[in-house]
Amino acid sequence: MNPLKEKFAAKASALAGEIKALLKEKGDTTVGEVTLKQVFGGMRGVKSMICETSVLDPIEGIRFRGYSIPELKKLLPTAEGGKEPLPEGLFWLMLVDELPTQDQVKWLTEEWRSRSEVSQATFDVLDSLPADAHPMVQLCVALNAMSLDSIFTARYAEGMNKREYWDATFEDSMNLIAKLPRVAAYIYRRTYHNGEHIAPDPNLDWAANFAHMLGVNDPDFKSLMRLYLTIHADHEGGNASAHTVHLIGSTLSNAYMSLAGGMNSLAGPLHGLANQEVIKWIFELVEKVGTTKPTKDQLREYINQTLANGQVIPGYGHAVLRQPDPRFTAQKVFAEEYIKDDDIVQVVWDLFDVVPDILGALGKVKNPWPNVDAHSGALLVHYGLKEYSYYTVLFGVSRALGVLSSLCWSRAMGFPLERPKSVSTEWVKNFLNDNQA
């Protein structure tokens, strides 16, 4: 058995035993109430699922296995000579709840490299799509095509014992993550660079190799990708993409199909697609005012016009967070260190100065602060990755790390088919009548 899988098996079987005992003794304990507002309002805050890999606090933001982003920047292994954390390290941490050593991360880089070959069938499916199909459409189609190689599906068909589900899910997840940068880069190159593909470089880590296959050669872009693919990886279990993966996985659909569902969810403009919407909105602003250095008054006018048109300000607001997103802050810190005097980055910072007051004054927006998507596009544009329709794919490559770690845990814990109860409005009215009587 490989060392990561061995560790995971030991941790998972211990926790599965604990959960069993806990449910036996305390299974009927109430952990919260559900109000009608929550029933009609997107289930905000309803505690109804388990996610081991990360926890989101409205004020502090995300903690991966208890560690904040600034802490991870200090504690996770980095590439030789680099300063940014390696996403391999975060995956290790999320999966087995231990900070990895440099050697363990090196092992994981190697392990993913050894599993990274993508089938010709996957490339053929991608090549059958119009080159101008949205990159997220291409990613979702590719993931479904990749599921033809699912170990879980093959073993299930052979009558796999349910105690082995975690093992097959682990294998699928490792294979999928290993292949994902190649598939994502293939989508980028076929869409924006006439299908001139770049072969993987076996000497690079997972994120740097992705940057290399995209064709952006600035070494600082490799550092950015390491940070980017770390901070977008997980946002506890209830966000739309993670929850979708969890739901689909609970039917014992394989990891590829579960992730494809999650990516369809990430492709919505209220979720991951907001990263493309932010930069599109900024480019439209620049075009409208005729300068890459708009004044704050010009920004205010543009924001008010967007709101008057009945649109949201992309990159601002959050269903859980009530402070600036630490993932926004991490990217700002990166820009302050690596990027000097970039007009679009400056626009992002000026928006940070003016948007919260305007959204706050509306009186209805619960969180007027920037989220992760407010900053990422400006960094990518700086390094030449200007094709913003592609940005959500980058988010998706990172998100795979968190949601697939969680999928391994869900199968190891033997979590059942997810099936909440829905009610009709008529049921609600009758319930209220009966309770008033």
Torsion (CA) 214, 347, 228, 277 in degrees, nearest 10: -70
| Spatial separation of the C-alpha atoms in residues 291 and 296, rounded to whole Å | 13
Q: Does 314 bind ligand CMX (CB under 6 A)?
A: yes
Do residues 263 and 136 lie in contact, with contact meaning Cβ atoms separated by under 8 Å? yes
Among residues 116 and 276, whose Cβ is nearest to ligand CMX?
Answer: 276
Among residues 52 and 325, whose Cβ is nearest to ligand CMX?
Answer: 325
Among residues 146 and 359, whose Cβ is nearest to ligand CMX?
Answer: 359
Containing 240, the helix (H) or strand (E) segment is helix 240-249
Q: Which of 325, 373, 375, 382 is catalytic?
A: 373
* Helix/strand/coil for 46: coil
Q: Does 398 bind ligand CMX (CB under 6 A)?
A: no
Residue nearest to ligand CMX (CB): 317
* Site residues (CB under 6 A) for ligand CMX, limited to 316-335: 316-319
* Site residues (CB under 6 A) for ligand CMX, limited to 337-396: 359, 364-367, 371-373
Containing 186, the helix (H) or strand (E) segment is helix 165-192
Q: Does 92 bind ligand CMX (CB under 6 A)?
A: no
Q: Which of 243, 246, 318, 382 is catalytic?
A: 318
Letters for 233-272 (x = contact with ligand CMX by CB under 6 A, - = none) are: -------------------------------------xxx
Q: Smallest distance from the beta carbon of 358 to ligand CMX, in angstroms?
A: 9
Q: Smallest distance from the beta carbon of 50 to ligand CMX, in angstroms?
A: 21
Among residues 118 and 355, whose Cβ is nearest to ligand CMX?
Answer: 355
Q: For 357, what's the count of Cα atoms within 13 Å in the CB-facing half-sphere?
A: 8
First-to-final CA distance of the chain: 63
Q: Does 315 bind ligand CMX (CB under 6 A)?
A: yes
Among 96, 105, 183, 274, binds ligand CMX (CB under 6 A): 274
Q: Smallest distance from the beta carbon of 55 to ligand CMX, in angstroms?
A: 16
Q: Smallest distance from the beta carbon of 359 to ligand CMX, in angstroms?
A: 6
Query: Between vectors from CA 436 to CA 435 and to CA 437, what angle results, nearest 5°?
Result: 90
271 is annotated as an active-site residue: yes
| Spatial separation of the C-alpha atoms in residues 76 and 83, rounded to whole Å | 10
- The partner residues of 54 in beta bridges, in order of sequence, read 64
What per-residue string of b and e applies to 161-189 under the rule 16 or more CB within 10 Å gives b? Answer: eeeebbbbbbbbbbbbbbbbbbbbbbbbb
| Spatial separation of the C-alpha atoms in residues 146 and 186, rounded to whole Å | 14
Rule CB under 6 A: which residues touch ligand CMX?
A: 270-272, 274, 312-319, 359, 364-367, 371-373
Residues carrying an active site annotation: 271, 318, 373
